[in-house]
């Protein structure tokens, strides 16, 4: 069985290697981008204004297309390539045209509704913050169109077995935003940064710079599209073009996305309200969530992106055994990668965030607040990744209704919990409470997805996944204990500033890895060996057998 696991991991690794590397570089530059933004605008009212304005185009895009492009569209494009005589080219061109036209119309409406949107997300009481957020929002909502183009082209490339360019293109976006931050710091000069004291042209610089970054991220995919033999051609012959199936599946994905955005609306509004009272608001939550998403974006998203076309082909061929085998493999490899990362984030979160954020407008104490939120929410990382993978099985089967029902059940837990948090906790602790609620609801989604899969397919071999997770948790606990001891010792001597936190991160990482490696000599985990064989084969230029 271990041999099969290594062979499957090798095949999947060949599909995800360049994508994971691109994602790693993208996330690394995103790390620098996040640090640059924090240093330039801080976590106060200006930070909350920028975060809300930057969040809105992302949320609207996800509501309209994000889930559709990442789940439903790839299977449809794969089926069209198998079905149509032209390899699905005309179908793809019609779909791209429809997406751009529809999203452009919605973007124009969103720009007009900017004041209402910012109010809805909790930007209300401070007139200067309201004006700043509204201006930033109107500029940055244009990003919706470029997000849609990037997502659509990425889906087309993924459906044709090309994963590298979509993984690498965000690097350009990050570099543009970092340059924008440098220019903003030079423009504003010294002194406290407040919404009322925003320098002339400062909001326009931030808004336009951020939007140009997204536009560049989309534009660099056009050459890759030509390399796979597809030209961007406007086609408006949508009737009888085979897009009805996309509409039927897309309706459920829209429902799913709307439910997700309702939950995030409650979180953001509560965080913005808490931020005005305590200084710990939506910018703190967003940056902690971004750090949490970094390992998931490098590992989890790479696995999901590579597995969805495979699962779609298995579903189209009626190969249920292959479909479930990919699910099991993906779940176990996700656990191998992310269970140790979860332990590391819990132990190193405050020190890590100090190293990343404590400069410019952000004090070490404010930076550690981000790390605390990161640490208390890290337990939701693995359930989120595996739960998302489970829902990909539904999309591979062209079933968009089940994920929507699962998401509705998750929202039924999340929304009341987030409304309750501000009533139970002081304003300074509200954001941490919201993060715990979000992590907890990922466990709910994982359990519900597993129950549905068992109902649909019968026994799933969950015991194998469970044993892998349990053994990894044991190893990670040894590593976490050693890392926590090292962090405490270093912090007691070197303090909690940036130098001391950097030493704590290095010492905690080294101690955790050493303890985990020693424990691994006594706990046999086939998937760890398979992953190690794959990495070793890549380094030596051979394929794992």
The per-residue DSSP string of 161-203 comes to T--HHHHHTHHHHHHHHHHHHHHHHHHH-SS---STTPPTTHH
Task: Kindly report the average pLDDT of the chain as a whole number.
Answer: 82
Are 503 and 494 in contact by the 8 Å Cβ rule? The answer is yes
Write 230-235 long-range contacts (CB < 8 A, 24+): 230/89, 230/92, 230/93, 230/156, 230/160, 231/93, 232/93, 232/96, 233/93, 234/93, 234/97, 235/90, 235/93, 235/94, 235/97
Residues 501-517: what's their mean pLDDT? 91
Write down the pLDDT at residue 241: 53
Are 231 and 92 in contact by the 8 Å Cβ rule? The answer is no
Measured at the CA of 49, the angle between CA 43 and CA 50, to 5 degrees, comes to 80
Residues 163-191: what's their mean pLDDT? 88
More confident residue, 17 or 522: 522
pLDDT digits (tens, 9 = 90+) for 79-122: 777 777 676 788 888 888 888 898 999 999 999 999 999 998 88
Q: Which residues of 518-530 are buried (b: 16+ CB within 10 A; e: fewer)?
A: ebbeeeebbbbbb
pLDDT digits (tens, 9 = 90+) for 373-385: 999 999 999 998 8
More confident residue, 173 or 4: 173
Are 397 and 453 in contact by the 8 Å Cβ rule? The answer is no
Write down the pLDDT at residue 531: 55
Write down the pLDDT at residue 443: 92
Residue with the two structure tokens 């509705």: 408
Write down the pLDDT at residue 491: 92
Write down the pLDDT at residue 178: 96
More confident residue, 157 or 73: 157
What confidence category does residue 417 fall into, taking pLDDT thresholds of 50, 70 and 90?
very high
Structure tokens at 222: 């056009």
Write down the pLDDT at residue 541: 47
Structure tokens at 80: 């069209």
Q: Is the pLDDT of residue 12 over 80?
A: no
Write down the pLDDT at residue 526: 65
Residues 302-315: what's their mean pLDDT? 69
Q: Is the pLDDT of residue 15 over 60?
A: no
Q: Residue 6: which H helix or E strand, with range?
A: helix 2-41
Residues 14-29: what's their mean pLDDT? 68
pLDDT digits (tens, 9 = 90+) for 139-155: 999 999 999 999 888 88
Write down the pLDDT at residue 301: 65
Q: Is the pLDDT of residue 59 over 50?
A: yes
Percent with pLDDT over 70 in the chain: 84
* Global confidence as pTM: 0.71
More confident residue, 32 or 247: 32
Write down the pLDDT at residue 143: 95
Quote the crossing angle between the two packed helices 45-61 and 282-295, to the nearest 10°. 50
Are 57 and 141 in contact by the 8 Å Cβ rule? The answer is yes
Residues 60-79: what's their mean pLDDT? 70
DSSP assignment of 370-400, as one string?
HHHHHHHHGGGHHHHHHHHHHHHHHHHTT--
C-alpha span between 165 and 19 (Å, rounded): 8
Write down the pLDDT at residue 16: 52
Structure tokens at 192: 């406290």
What confidence category does residue 422 fall into, taking pLDDT thresholds of 50, 70 and 90?
very high
What confidence category does residue 302 fall into, taking pLDDT thresholds of 50, 70 and 90?
low
Write down the pLDDT at residue 76: 73
Write down the pLDDT at residue 85: 66
Residues 225-239: what's their mean pLDDT? 79
Q: Is the pLDDT of residue 423 over 90?
A: yes
Structure tokens at 293: 């998403």
What confidence category does residue 328 fall into, taking pLDDT thresholds of 50, 70 and 90?
confident
C-alpha span between 518 and 512 (Å, rounded): 10
Q: Is the pLDDT of residue 462 over 80?
A: no
Residues 463-473: what's their mean pLDDT? 79
Write down the pLDDT at residue 9: 46
pLDDT digits (tens, 9 = 90+) for 244-298: 555 565 677 778 778 888 888 899 889 988 888 888 888 899 889 888 887 777 6
Write down the pLDDT at residue 299: 67
Q: Which of 41-55, 238-252, 336-350 has the lowest mean pLDDT?
A: 238-252
C-alpha span between 532 and 536 (Å, rounded): 6
């Amino acid at each position: 069985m271990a041999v099969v696991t290594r062979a499957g991991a090798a095949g999947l690794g060949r599909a995800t290697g360049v994508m994971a590397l691109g994602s790693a570089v993208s996330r690394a530059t995103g790390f620098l981008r996040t640090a640059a933004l924090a240093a330039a605008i801080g976590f106060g009212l200006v930070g909350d204004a920028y975060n809300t304005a930057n969040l809105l185009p992302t949320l609207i895009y996800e509501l309209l297309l994000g889930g559709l492009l990442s789940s439903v569209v790839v299977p449809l494009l794969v089926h069209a390539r198998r079905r149509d005589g032209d390899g699905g080219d005309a179908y793809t061109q019609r779909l791209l045209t429809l997406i751009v036209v529809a999203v452009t119309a919605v973007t124009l409406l969103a720009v007009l509704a900017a004041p209402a949107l910012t109010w809805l997300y909790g930007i209300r009481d401070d007139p200067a913050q309201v004006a700043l957020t509204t201006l930033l929002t109107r500029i940055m909502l244009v990003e919706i169109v470029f997000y849609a183009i990037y997502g659509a082209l990425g889906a087309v490339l993924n459906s044709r077995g090309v994963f590298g360019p979509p993984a690498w293109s965000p690097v350009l976006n990050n570099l543009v935003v970092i340059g924008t931050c440098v220019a903003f710091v030079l423009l504003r000069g010294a002194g406290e940064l407040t919404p009322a004291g925003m320098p002339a042209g400062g909001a326009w610089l931030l808004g336009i710079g951020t939007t140009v970054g997204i536009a560049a991220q989309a534009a660099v995919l056009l050459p890759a599209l030509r390399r796979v033999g597809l030209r961007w051609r406007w086609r408006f012959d949508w009737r009888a073009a085979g897009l009805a199936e996309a509409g039927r599946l897309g309706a459920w994905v829209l429902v799913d996305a709307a439910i997700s955005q309702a939950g995030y609306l409650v979180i953001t509004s509560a965080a913005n309200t808490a931020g005005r009272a305590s200084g710990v608001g939506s910018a703190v939550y967003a940056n902690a969530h971004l750090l949490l998403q970094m390992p998931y974006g490098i590992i989890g998203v790479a696995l999901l992106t590579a597995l969805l076309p495979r699962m779609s082909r298995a579903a189209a061929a009626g190969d249920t055994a292959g479909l479930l085998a990919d699910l099991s493999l993906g779940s176990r490899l996700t656990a191998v990668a992310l269970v140790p990362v979860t332990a590391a984030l819990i132990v190193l979160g405050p020190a890590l965030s100090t190293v990343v954020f404590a400069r410019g407008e952000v004090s070490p104490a404010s930076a550690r607040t981000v790390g605390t939120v990161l640490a208390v929410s890290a337990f939701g990382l693995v359930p989120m990744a595996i739960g998302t993978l489970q829902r990909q099985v539904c999309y591979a089967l062209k079933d968009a209704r089940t994920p929507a029902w699962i998401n509705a059940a998750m929202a039924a837990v999340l929304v009341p919990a987030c409304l309750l948090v501000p009533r139970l906790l002081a304003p300074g602790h509200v954001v941490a409470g919201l993060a715990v609620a979000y992590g907890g609801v990922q466990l709910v989604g994982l359990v519900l997805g597993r129950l549905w899969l068992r109902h649909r397919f019968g026994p799933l071999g969950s015991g194998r996944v469970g044993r892998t997770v349990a053994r990894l948790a044991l190893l990670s606990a040894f590593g976490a204990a050693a890392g926590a001891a090292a962090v405490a010792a270093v912090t007691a001597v070197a303090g909690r500033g940036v130098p001391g936190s950097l030493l704590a991160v290095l010492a905690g990482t080294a101690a955790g890895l050493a303890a985990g490696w020693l424990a691994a000599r006594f706990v046999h985990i086939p998937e760890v060996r398979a992953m190690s064989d794959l990495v070793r084969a890549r380094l030596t230029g051979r394929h794992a057998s």
